[in-house]
Structures are given as structure tokens and as C-alpha cells.
Amino acid sequence: MTNLLKNIIRIYYKIFFKVNISGEDNLPTDKGYVLCANHISAHDPTVYAVSVKKLLYALGKKELFKSFIGKFIFSNMNVIPVDRNKIDISAMKKSLRILKKEKSGLLVFAEGTRNHGITPLPSTPGASMLAIKAKVPIIPLSIDSTYKLFSEVNIKIGKPIDLSGYNSKEMDTQDYIKINEDILKDIYNNLVLYKKGKNYED
């Protein structure tokens, strides 16, 4: 993300929300890593991207790039377009290059879409698959908020999970999904504000 765009978005969140971030020290400085995150709002990727100091990339659905404005914004936010209707080899190659060569973080929303409920949706295999193939850790990321104006946004970065024990194993899609779903269960246990907001609406 360009510094100008990042600063504009950061000012927006500073004015209209109270963003709290914890666990930033858990992000590796000497290698890439995959952030496995929940996805409750369109705000999620931008509020995270402007709140952390380290360079970050993210996977996002290709539909985000359809308009000129969308293409400009998300390209400058280092979002890699993904075709969710097939195994997107191009997106996977770009992601592996970023993790291995650039040693940067890659944000992946493990459920593949926004979740409007309070329990995890079925996971996609992507987050753990990329982490294992790139031989980098996977890090749980909880983004918790109702996103009502002037409300809190609590971002919690968990400790890195070493998946190197899977490097020598034959893995299929369901194996990757199981790893992600176990991580998502822990992530959703951290969603206090979001769940309270949902209960209030009910």
C-alpha cells in the first residue's frame, strides 16, 4: 500500500474507531508467515493493514478488481486476486514467492468469504496449504468488532504455529481444512465484541 493511501485510511480509522492491536511482536522478522484470520466485515483487511508496521500482502477475491477504483485501491493494498471458482495456480505461485523470497506476511481469510454468524464457516484449504508448502509458520489473527461508529476494533495476533511436522506427510485437501478449522475455533473464542453485538441484535 502506498504511504499516502495508507495514511488516509489510518486517519479514517483513528477518527471513527478505537483500534487496539496486541501480539505484534509475534510476527517473524526473518521469514515469511501466513496470517489465518476470521472475516466479519469488509473493514477487516484495511483496518489490519494500516494498523501494523510490517509489510503485508493479502489474498482477495478477483471481483474486487472489476472496477477502476477497486483495482486502484486493492492493487495498492498489495492484494493478490484469487478466482474462488477454481484452484488458482497463478495466485498460489505469487503467494509462495512472497512467502519464500520476499519473506513477507500473507493475510488469508480461511473461510473464503465474510461470515455474518457467530460460529466459523467451513474452511478453505488455502492458509495451511500455503504455510506448509512455503515452510513458514501460520499465525492466528482475530479481528473483533461490531464496526459501529466510534466502537472498538480489537486485533489479536496469536503466537506462530509450527507446521513443519507436516512437511514429510502426504496431505490432501481435507487435511489442510482440518488444520484451518482448528485454528478458526480458537479465533472465534476471541470474538467478544462481535458476538455481543450479534446477541444484542437478536
Alpha-carbon distance values, 10 to 13, 16, 52, 72, 114 (Å):
5, 10, 10, 17, 22
Quote the pLDDT of residue 202. 46
Q: Model confidence over 69-81: pLDDT tens digits?
A: 878 878 877 888 8
Hey, what domains does the chain have and what are their CATH numbers? 3-201 (3.40.1130.10)
pLDDT digits (tens, 9 = 90+) for 150-202: 999 999 999 999 999 999 899 999 999 999 999 999 999 999 999 998 876 54
Measure the CA–CA gap between 156 and 15, rounded to whole angstroms.
21
Residue 198 has a pLDDT of 82
Q: How far apart are CA 106 and CA 137, in angstroms?
A: 11
Are 23 and 156 in contact, with CB atoms under 8 Å apart?
A: yes
Q: Quote the CA–CA distance of 194 and 202 in Å, as a whole number.
A: 13
* Helices marked H in 86-151: 89-97, 126-134
pLDDT of residue 1: 57
Note the pLDDT of residue 3. Answer: 75
- Residues 6-24: tens digit of each pLDDT: 888 899 999 999 999 999 9
* pLDDT score for 170: 92
pLDDT tens readout for residues 28-69? 999 999 999 999 999 998 899 888 878 789 998 888 888 888
The string of DSSP letters for 2-43 reads: -HHHHHHHHHHHHHH-EEEEE-GGGS-SSS-EEEEE---STT
The pLDDT value given to residue 72: 80
pTM: 0.90
Instruction: Name the average pLDDT for the chain.
Output: 91
